Amino acid sequence: MPKISAVLITLNEALNLPRVLASVQWCDEMVVVDSGSTDNTLALAQSLGAKTFYNKFEGYGPQKHFAVSQACHDWVLIVDADEEVSPGLAQEIQAMMKNETIAFQGFRLPRDFVFMGRVMRYGGLHGEMYLRLFNRKFGNFNDKKIHESAIIEGKIGRLKGRLMHYSYRHLEDYFQKYNHYTSLAARDLHQKGKKTAPWKIYLRFPFTFFNCISCGALSWMAFRALSGPLFRPPTR
């Protein structure tokens, strides 16, 4: 039966790490590549049985490519620190790996989007498929700094079990991550010598926000706005 390495990259993910690593304990190996955490991410990862490595962050694609190369096994399951492998997905993968031959070189997994503690059933991010389980003999991640993806030569199948994505704990968290990704995108465009009109940024944000968050999240935000402040001032 093929062995599987769970692979993830981290930076100050001590809050998320126990959940994601608990969900992949069934894997034969857990690999964590860190880019300089200042919290107890590394100590926590090691205490939970993961192998840890350091690599300077040059973008999500290069970082995940490096992380995959540190795994001992050819089959790798890529998870983000703010995700969780559902029990159903874990059982589905383990059952599939018991087969003597696997007809595919990679698998796309459906991901449920959790916003402020609620699973969003509608909107642009619900149920999107991501290539997260693959045999690294047939490929690895590209070198894109953001919007990275695995490039696999071979047949790609689909699984039914879900990844759970706990991306935004609250609106302040959403805007912090939005600023992080847009800064990376701007730096990438600058390095490539490309320019974009500022008005495109201001128009794209509200459309993307309303499409991705969905009516359910907006209702939840309205409820929170009526019952208390959406944002908490930072503590010093």
DSSP state of 127: T
Q: How confident is the model at residue 220 (pLDDT cuts 50, 70, 90)?
A: very low
Using an 8 Å Cβ cutoff, are 151 and 139 in contact? yes
3-state secondary structure of 91: helix
Distance CA 200, CA 82 (A): 29
Contacting residues for 232 by C-beta, under 8 A, at least 6 apart: 170, 172
Report the range out of 109-113, 130-134, 175-179 with the highest average pLDDT.
130-134
Would the pLDDT of 169 be above 70? no
pLDDT attached to residue 125: 58
Q: Which residue has the higher pLDDT, 86 or 215?
A: 86
Neighbour count for residue 6 (Cβ, 10 Å):
24
Using an 8 Å Cβ cutoff, are 142 and 192 in contact? no
Spell out the long-range contacts of 229-235 with Cβ–Cβ below 8 A and sequence spacing 24 or more. 230/170, 230/171, 231/170, 231/171, 231/172, 232/170, 232/172
Provide φ and ψ at 209, rounded to 5°.
-60, -50
Would the pLDDT of 179 be above 60? no
Using an 8 Å Cβ cutoff, are 154 and 138 in contact? yes
Q: Where are the domains of the chain?
A: 4-112+130-167
**What is the fold of 4-112+130-167?**
Spore Coat Polysaccharide Biosynthesis Protein SpsA; Chain A (3.90.550)
- Average pLDDT value for residue range 121-144: 86
- Average pLDDT value for residue range 33-58: 98
